[in-house]
Structure formats: structure tokens, C-alpha cells
Amino acid sequence: MHMKILQKDLKHGFLKVKIDSSEDLWYLESIIEQSDVVSGMTERKIKIGGSEEKSKISRINVFLKIKVEKISFEDTLRVSGIIIDGPEDVPKGEYHTFSIAEGTTITIEKNHWTKYVLKKLEEATKQSAFYALIVAFDREDAIFALLKNNGYEVLLEIKGDVAKKGVDEKKTSFYKEIISKMKDYDEKYSFNSIILASPAFWKEYLLKELDDDVLKKKIILATCSSIDGGTINEILRRPELATVLEKDKSSKELSVVDELLNAINNNNAAYGMRDVKSKIDSGNISVLLVSENLIKKARADKTYSQIELLMTQAESLNAEIRIISSEDAARKLDGLSGIACLLRWKENYGKQNYEP
């Protein structure tokens, strides 16, 4: 479930990765930049045959190396640029687009790996503790699975006793059994999210039976075609899973931004480029927070080097660097200019006047 690094030599600007999930594509969109060199196996149309009349177009897999000019991300990540290396029958200087999806292996070469890119790479490959509960069921069967960083573990499978007569009564009893097991597992793991999946409308019926408002707030509804051995893998390919991952990340980022807001009220934080730089210069910084929106704007405006310098200096002081990218947390930080820091020690002065 995390991007795999196959080879790494950042001293020579070289990184080879394998894409394991759709979330990896989101990270790669931030990691790959214009003027990078991307290489790997890719599909390309090639003319086969002699004369124009007799030649035909065929799609073949070839190894190509391109200098990146454009990156776009929809269902797949598309990286386009000029071919700088490849087989003899593929002319250099022509345009080519890599379509990067799950299972793709590519190599990225850069002249300089910035702090921001390295943080995104760390985030993409880090095995942080993550748990969510998947409950897949219909009116006769239910599967409980624990979703973890490295896959999932089936915790329990239960069967309902549905007879032709008294179906509604048996169904309600089965739902209560499922809800009881959900509560037990939530007490044990304290989930941030619970994915409730079923064919048809069974999940909505169960939700009506659930009277626990705290548990309800954790639930994300998903659809599956049936309840069998392939059900959990089917759910893992659903877009709802990306929602769960983002929800977990958002919770953590909101927590650190709220900590920042409290620290500002207690004169234990600074924000804005000028004041953050002042704290770094004096060594009084424990955490540096930078909005990804600010970084993207600075990269587009060719002013990112200023932020890179602050990140490098903060890191030399053993300060933690947090890139804030989830929507709610980033919006709050953007309201404070997009850059801020928590202090190592409290300074006694009046509330600062914000200057970007």
C-alpha cells in the first residue's frame, strides 16, 4: 500500500520506484517536476514495414527516457516530454507520454532533490501506524477485516440465520450481531474510520439500526458485488478507500495546526516568512509548518528557493518539518500566510503583527 523504492542514489540524483497504489500517483505528481528525466518501460506506437503504403502501426513496449515538460493527473498520472534515449527505431527529440498506474516501475533523475520533494518521498514510503475496519456483509454473511499499512487481516466471518419466514426479524437480529462486533473491535483499536460495504442497500438498512452516534461518524459507506473470498480485495480497489486514507491524514494535520493556533495565543509560535526566518536565525524553532499550497505557488513563481533555505536551516537545528496538504488544515495555515513554526522556548512579547 506504499510506494516501493527499488534503487536509490540521491547523491547522483537517481531514484527507481514501483507504484503500489493510486495514492502513490498523488505523491508522484508532487515529486516529478519539469526538467526531470523519467525512464522506464512504456507503450509506444511504431511503424513496422518498408514503404509508407505497406507499413503498419503497432503498439510495442520499449524502454524510453524523456526530459519532462508536462505532468497531469486524472485516472492515471501522465508524464510527457522529449525523448532523449531509447531504441534506434524511436527517434530522439520526438514527444512521448508515460501513462503511470499501479504496478508501473519508473526511474526519476533530478539535478537537485529539494527538501519538499524529499518530504513527499518520505511520506509516500513511510510505514506509519494505520488501522481501519472493513465490514462487508449482506443479509446472510459478514466479513470483518483489519486494514493495515501492509495489507489486511480477516478478523472474523459470521453467518446469519435467514429463513424464508420471519426474514425481517432474522435480518434485524443479524444486524445487531454485526453492530455488536463493530463496537467490540472499535473499543480494541479505536478506529478513525470504518468502511461499511454491502451489495444493494443492506448497508443503509444496518445504519438505521445503529444508535451509536460516535460510531456513525466513523463510518464510510462502500459498495461490493458479493460476499466471498474476493470481497475485501474488491473493496480495496474502491475510491472510498482513498477517502479513508485522506481522513486519517487530515485528522493528524488538523491536530498539529490546532496546536499551532493555541501556541500563537500563548506567544509560543510565529508565522509569516519574516518572523519564521527570525526564529530560525535565533535557533528558536521546534516544528516548521509549510502549506503545500504555498510551496506549489512558490514553485510556479520561481521563488521556492526561499522556502527551501528555511527548511534546510530548520532541519540543521533538528526541527521537525511538516508539509500540510489536507484541505481543512491547509486552509487554516494558508490564513496565516502558509508558513509558521512552533518555538523551542516561549518568548514574552505582545501578539505579533503578521507580515508575509
Mean confidence (pLDDT) of the chain: 86
CA angle 344, 350, 353 (to 5 degrees): 95
pLDDT at 242 over 80: no
Q: Going by DSSP bridges, is the β-strand pair 141-148/77-85 parallel, antiparallel, or unpaired?
A: unpaired
Q: Do 118 and 156 reside in the same domain of the chain?
A: no
Q: Is residue 246 part of a domain?
A: no
CA dist 353 and 348 (Å) reads 15
Residues 138 and 25 in one domain: no
Residue 330: is its pLDDT beyond 50? yes
pLDDT band of 354, cuts 50, 70, 90: very low
Residue % of the chain over a pLDDT of 70: 88
Residue 197 located in a structural domain: yes
Q: Among 238, 267, 291, identify where a domain stops.
A: 238
Does residue 136 share a domain with residue 120? no
- Per-residue pLDDT at 168: 56
For residue 215, the surrounding DSSP H or E stretch is helix 213-218
Residue 151's DSSP bridge partners are 148
Residue 170 in this model has a pLDDT that exceeds 70: no
* Predicted pLDDT of residue 128: 54
The C-alpha atoms of residue 138 and residue 160 are separated, in whole angstroms, by 9
C-beta atoms surrounding 58 within 10 Å = 11
pLDDT band for 39, please (50, 70, 90 cuts): very high
Report the number of distinct structural domains present in the chain: 3
SS3 annotation, 107-133: EEECCCCCHHHHHHHHHHHCCCCCCEE
Q: Are residues 155 and 67 in the same domain?
A: no
Last residue of a domain, one of 66, 98, 125: 125
The domain boundary residue, chosen from 184, 203, 238: 238
Q: What percent of the chain has pLDDT over 90?
A: 56
pLDDT at 164: 45
82 and 23, same structural domain?
yes
Q: Can you give the pLDDT at residue 259?
A: 94
Separation between Cα atoms, residue 304 and residue 190, nearest integer Å: 40
The yes-or-no verdict on residue 81 having pLDDT over 90 is yes
| Domain CATH code at residue 110 | 2.30.30.870
> Using one digit for the tens of pLDDT, what is the confidence trace for 273-284?
999 999 999 999
Q: Order across the sheet with 37-48: list the strands.
A: 4-9, 14-18, 105-109, 37-48, 56-73, 77-85, 95-100
In a domain, 355, yes or no: no
Residues 234 and 289 in one domain: no
Q: Is the pLDDT of residue 165 over 60?
A: no
Of 27-36, 189-198, 235-244, the range with the lowest mean pLDDT is 235-244
CA distance 325 to 294: 10
Residue 1 has a pLDDT of 56
> Is 352 part of any domain?
no
Residue 341: beta bridge partners? 270, 288
Question: 164 with 115, same domain?
Answer: no
| Contact (Cβ atoms closer than 8 angstroms) between residue 158 and residue 142 | yes
Query: Residues 167, 210: one domain?
Result: yes
Give the pTM.
Answer: 0.63
Read off the CATH number of the domain in which 156 is found.
3.30.420.60
Residues 192-234: pLDDT tens digits?
889 999 998 899 999 998 999 999 999 999 999 999 988 988 8
Q: Please compute Rg for the chain using Cα positions.
A: 25
Q: Could you tell me the three cell numbers for 248?
A: 486519517
Contact 32, 39 (CB under 8 A): no
Range of the domain at 119: 4-125
- Whether the per-residue pLDDT at 163 is higher than 50: the answer is no
Answer yes or no: do 100 and 183 share one domain: no
Quick: pLDDT tens for 117-156: 988 888 888 755 567 899 999 988 999 998 875 568 899 9
